[in-house]
Structure formats: structure tokens, C-alpha cells
Chain A
Amino acid sequence: MAERYSSFTPGGTGWFLQRITAAFLVVVLAFHFFLLHFVNHAYEVTFMGTQTRMQNVGYFLTMVLFLITAAFHGVNGVYNALVNQGLEGGRKKAVLAVLTLASVALVAQGIYVALAMRGMI
């Protein structure tokens, strides 16, 4: 029976972070949607407007954090979902690698974009 489980258990951490990020995302995502669809309408978005918003450090940092948490939450969510569907062994490792790379790329590109919006690039 004992060989059924290993003492190293990463499950809990992932689960926990998924919840923490979710809690954070509720607030930021609501804010984001509200700001860009109701306060400013999406069809009115211009580079100027975006640049102005991004100039605000608080807004900039929030968006970067938003990006990072969303990327983590989304990718971790997908990963967990796949593992729950019985992903195992080598394929599991491969999926993890791909997903990690994708999310790192996403975050990197996102930050690059955000910096560009601030006019820092």
C-alpha cells in the first residue's frame, strides 16, 4: 500500500496558488473589463489613450502583475486539468515544459508590449 503515494507532494502548492491567483484576478479582471469596455469603450481605444494610462506607474504595475497571475492561473489550470485527465510520465513532463515555456514567452512578450506602451522602448 505504501508505494501508492510519494512523500513529495506538489499538488497542494499548485492548488493553493490557483486559489490565491483567482482571488486576485477577480478584482483586477473586473477592473480591467470595466475600464476598457464601460468607462472607455474598446472601439474608442487609441494608442494615445493606452499610452496615457500606462504612464501611471500603479496602473502599469497592476497590469504586469495581472498578466503574470493570469498567465500562471491559466497555464496552471490547463496543466492541472490535463493531469486530472490522466496525463502521466514523460508526456506529463513534456506538457509541463511546453506550458512553462509558453507562459514565460507570454509574460515576456506582454511586459515588452507594456513597456512599449509606456514609451520606454
Chain B
Amino acid sequence: MSQSYNRGLVEDFGRWKEFSAGMWAWIFHKFTGWVLIGYLFTHIAVLSTSIDGAQGKTTMVGGEELNVYTATLQGLEGLFLIRLLEVGLLAVAVFHILNGLRLLMVDLGVGLEAQDKSFYASLILTGAITVASVPTFLTGVTI
């Protein structure tokens, strides 16, 4: 064959504006999945303070003697940034769950015609749940 022209990767991802529901769902699911596994590792790391906690280690927080585990958790929870990240985590988890359910349905061959609608529904529900949870997540924290 004579020469031909390869439009390369730019063609592939430069076209994001033209992506359809299914592609976005795929990208979001990937992204949220990675965040979640990343979080799982951090989560266990943080919880590891309970090993010391169990041995009765304590630390002084604001003049009070607290179990290390309790102190770490409450210390983190006292940070506004962490609370915000938690809301983010919730959003990520909720989307991953909802879209995960959508994918499970797709795998079972149920409701394939509605695959795009169910993706939009997942997005909207995620948004709604996240917004609704903000008060719960942000109680008792000061900036």
C-alpha cells in the first residue's frame, strides 16, 4: 500500500466533545474506581492508628488526654478540607455504586435501551445525594 495518513492520538481524545453517554460513563467509572481504591489504602493506613490505640497509647489534644486513634480521627474530622474531601468521596462512591449497578444491569442484558438515560440518572442522583448530605457532613466543623 502506498503512504497513508495516521491522524494519531489527538484524533482520539481531542474529540471528547463528541463522546456519547456510554463513553463518559466509562471514563467516570474508571476515575471513581481509582479514587476509591486509592482511598481504601489511605483508609486502612489511617485506621492503623488503632493498633497503638488498642495498646492504650494516648496523646494530648487541647489539654485533654485522648486515645491516639480517637485523636487522629477527630483531629482529621476537625479539618474543613477533610470534610470537603469526604463529600467528594461520597460523590465518587455514590456515582461508582449507581453506575456500577447500571453496569451490572447492562451485563445481565436488562434495560439496554435505557443505557444512556440510566447514566444521566446516575449523575443526577449522585448530585442530589451529595448535595443532600452536605449538612450532615459539615456539622460541627469550623473553617
Judge whether B70 is part of the interface by a CB distance below 8 angstroms.
yes
Docked CA distance A112–B40 (Å): 15
Report chain B residues within 8 Å CB of A38.
133, 136
Of A26, A33, A48, A109, which is within 8 A of B90 by CB? Answer: A33
Report chain B residues within 8 Å CB of A113.
44, 47-48, 50-51
Asked if B69 and A22 make an inter-chain contact with CB atoms under 8 angstroms apart, the answer reads no
Asked if B53 and A74 make an inter-chain contact with CB atoms under 8 angstroms apart, the answer reads no
Interface residue SS majority, chain A: helix
Judge whether B117 is part of the interface by a CB distance below 8 angstroms.
no
Report chain B residues within 8 Å CB of A2.
none
Judge whether A101 is part of the interface by a CB distance below 8 angstroms.
no
Judge whether A41 is part of the interface by a CB distance below 8 angstroms.
yes
Judge whether B67 is part of the interface by a CB distance below 8 angstroms.
yes
CB proximity of A14 to chain B, nearest CB, Å: 13
Asked if B40 and A70 make an inter-chain contact with CB atoms under 8 angstroms apart, the answer reads yes
Report chain A residues within 8 Å CB of B136.
37-38, 41
Report chain A residues within 8 Å CB of B47.
110, 113, 117
- Using known A-B contacts A41-B136, A43-B78, determine if residue A50 contacts B36 with beta carbons closer than 8 Å: no
**B contacts, CB < 8 Å to A:** 30, 33-34, 36-37, 40-41, 44, 47-48, 50-51, 53-54, 67, 69-70, 73-74, 77-78, 86, 90, 93, 97, 100-101, 103-104, 107, 133, 136-137, 139-141
Chain A to chain B contacts (Cβ below 8 Å), 22 pairs: A22-B103, A26-B100, A29-B97, A30-B97, A33-B90, A38-B133, A38-B136, A42-B86, A43-B140, A46-B73, A46-B74, A50-B50, A77-B37, A78-B33, A106-B40, A110-B47, A112-B51, A113-B47, A113-B48, A116-B50, A116-B53, A117-B50
**A contacts, CB < 8 Å to B:** 19, 22-23, 25-26, 29-30, 33, 37-38, 41-43, 45-48, 50-51, 67, 70-71, 74-75, 77-78, 81, 102, 106, 109-110, 112-113, 116-117, 119, 121
